[in-house]
């Protein structure tokens, strides 16, 4: 069944709109994918300012949607061919999420189209299927500025959390250590560039949660140790490069250790030859991280798969695909009612927190006293 979906993403500091089509043969085609980055606006502050991000989304989303629709039309797919609208409904900076979701609701209402509120993390989880025919189930390492999780992906909407960060995400550690070293924003790519000139064995950094045998992550201790070394021992450009290399190696090492445990658990449940190990999220763009995880996958008998770099960071094509996958399941259901789906979609709420595995987030929350907002993603 051929389907075409308009996707909208605005959960952080990128405004993005895309049109994605899946043909009768199941092949996925990204007809357009446009992104407006706010890096310049936030660089002076050394990080994302939520109010500035939300205002920028408001200012740019109309033009980006026009551009995305025009690019799709140039490939022979006009606005009348769009079957549904998908938009990030969370988790993320609530002001930005509200902008994108409100725009998507208005577009869907004006054209009488179904609207699907998409979990931003599900977009990352399925992003590899934009370019690779990866069957379910597969093992996923979702590693970005705000998230660090190992997930058993059984199917669309069916996710089991195997491990998550108990404090900071790997991407957050990259960014904040880079800020401590004065490398500017965004910190992750800047730290990676410095690390290429350094000696990863120069500084000894702590290894978190060594006594535990689960798949959880922790990077707050690494951040503290790196900040202490930066203040006391970094005096020259070479010192800084060596610390960057040591930090990058420490982050990659923990990702490898936890992923190895998850691989063994996945193999014990499913067996099989060369199951897929998918790495998604912004940190997946780091060459050292990719190289070490790829080597691990080969060692453990997994096929290493990662989306192209353009789909590792936040984008609307992954949101459109997640919406398309969900919409296809809706249309296949015996009790599908198109009008009802439009109504339910328009009532979707923007959510600052939205775990993929809600059952486990409630039964085994990482942050037990998280207030009225509920368990963290």
Per-position pLDDT tens, the chain of length 377: 799 999 999 999 999 999 999 999 999 999 999 999 998 899 888 889 999 999 999 999 999 999 999 999 999 999 999 999 999 999 999 999 999 999 999 999 999 999 999 999 999 999 999 999 999 999 999 998 888 999 999 999 999 999 999 999 999 999 999 999 999 888 999 999 999 999 999 999 999 888 888 999 999 999 999 999 999 999 999 999 999 999 999 999 999 999 999 999 999 988 777 899 999 988 988 999 999 999 999 999 999 999 998 999 999 999 999 999 999 998 888 665 655 555 457 889 999 999 888 887 777 777 655 455 544 44
Is 146 labelled as part of a ligand binding site?
Answer: yes
Using DSSP's 3-state secondary structure scheme, residue 64 falls into: helix
Euclidean distance between CA atoms 373 and 171, whole angstroms: 23
- Please give the CATH superfamily to which domain 3-130+311-373 belongs: ATPase, nucleotide binding domain (3.30.420.40)
Pairwise CA distance, residues 217 & 255, whole Å: 8
Is 120 within any annotated ligand binding site? yes
C-alpha pair distances (Å), 138 with each of 11, 32, 126, 204, 278 = 25, 27, 10, 34, 7
CA 211, CA 54: separation in Å to the nearest integer?
42
Residues of the chain with CATH 3.30.420.40: 3-130+311-373, 138-306
Question: Would you say 117 is a known binding-site residue?
Answer: no
Does domain 138-306 fall into CATH 3.60.20.10?
no
Non-local (6+) Cβ contacts of 337 within 8 A are: none
Is there a binding annotation on residue 343?
no
SS3 call for 280: strand
Q: Does the annotation place 143 within a ligand binding site? A: yes
Q: Is 145 marked as a binding-site residue? A: yes
321 annotated ligand binder: no
- Classified as helix, coil or strand, 17 is strand
147 is in an annotated binding site: no
The DSSP bridge partners found for residue 84 are 5
Does residue 106 have a known ligand-binding role?
Answer: no
Cα separation, 181 vs 241, whole angstroms: 10
Number of H helices, E strands in the chain: 12, 10
80 is in an annotated binding site: no
């Amino acid at each position: 069944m051929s389907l075409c979906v308009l996707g909208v993403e605005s959960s952080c500091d990128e405004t993005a709109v895309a049109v994605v089509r899946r043909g009768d043969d199941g092949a996925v085609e990204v007809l357009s994918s446009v992104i407006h980055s706010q890096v310049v606006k936030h660089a002076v502050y050394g990080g994302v300012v939520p109010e500035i991000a939300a205002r920028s989304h408001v200012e740019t989303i109309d033009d980006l949607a026009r551009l995305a629709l025009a690019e799709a039309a140039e490939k022979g797919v006009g606005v009348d061919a769009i079957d549904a609208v998908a938009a990030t409904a969370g988790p993320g900076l609530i002001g930005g999420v509200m902008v994108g979701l409100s725009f998507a609701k208005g577009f869907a209402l004006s054209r009488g189209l179904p609207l699907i509120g998409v979990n931003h993390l599900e977009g990352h989880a399925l992003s590899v299927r934009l370019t690779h025919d990866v069957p379910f189930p597969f093992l996923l390492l979702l590693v970005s500025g705000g998230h660090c999780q190992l997930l058993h992906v059984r199917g669309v909407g069916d996710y089991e959390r195997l491990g998550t960060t108990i404090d900071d995400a790997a991407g957050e550690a990259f960014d904040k250590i880079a800020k401590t070293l004065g490398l500017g924003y965004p910190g992750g790519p800047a730290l990676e560039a410095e690390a290429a000139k350094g000696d990863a064995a120069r500084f000894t950094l702590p290894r978190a949660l060594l006594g535990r045998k689960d798949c959880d992550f922790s990077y707050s201790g690494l951040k503290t140790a790196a900040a202490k070394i930066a203040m006391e021992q970094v005096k020259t450009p070479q010192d800084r490069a060596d610390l960057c290399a040591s930090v990058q190696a420490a982050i990659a090492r923990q990702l490898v250790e936890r992923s190895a445990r998850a691989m063994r658990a996945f193999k014990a449940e499913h067996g099989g030859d060369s199951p897929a190990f998918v790495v998604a999220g912004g940190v997946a763009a780091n060459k050292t991280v990719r190289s070490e995880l790829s080597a691990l996958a080969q060692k453990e008998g997994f096929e290493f798969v990662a989306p192209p770099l353009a789909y590792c960071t936040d984008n609307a094509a992954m949101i459109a695909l997640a919406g398309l996958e969900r919409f296809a399941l809706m249309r296949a259901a015996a009790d599908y009612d198109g009008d009802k789906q439009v109504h339910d979609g328009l009532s979707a709420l923007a959510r600052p927190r939205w775990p993929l595995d809600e059952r486990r987030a409630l039964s085994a929350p990482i942050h037990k006293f998280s207030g009225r907002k509920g368990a963290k993603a």
